[in-house]
Structure 1
Amino acid sequence: MKGLLILIGILAWIGSTLFCAAAWITHVIVCIKTGSWILLLFGCVVVPVGVVHGVGVWLGVF
Structure 2
Amino acid sequence: MIKAFFVYILLAVTCFAAWLTHVIVTIKAAAWILLLSGAIFAPIGIVHGISIWFGASWV
- Paired residues, what number? 57
Partners of 1:36 and 1:61 lie apart in 2 by 16
Q: Which runs of 5+ in 1 are unaligned?
A: 1-5
Structure ranking higher in helix proportion: 1
Partners of 2:3 and 2:41 lie apart in 1 by 29
Partners of 2:27 and 2:35 lie apart in 1 by 7
**Matched residue, 2:23:** 28
How far the C-alpha of 1:16 sits from its partner, in A, is 0.1
Partners of 1:45 and 1:9 lie apart in 2 by 29
Find runs of 4+ consecutive structure 1 residues off by over 3 angstroms. Answer: none
2:12 to 17, 24, 39: 17
1:41 to 27, 36, 44: 36
TM-score, normalised to structure 2, is 0.95
Q: What is the RMSD computed on CA atoms of the aligned residues?
A: 0.3
Larger radius of gyration: 1
Question: Identity of paired residues, percent?
Answer: 44
Q: Which runs of 5+ in 2 are unaligned?
A: none
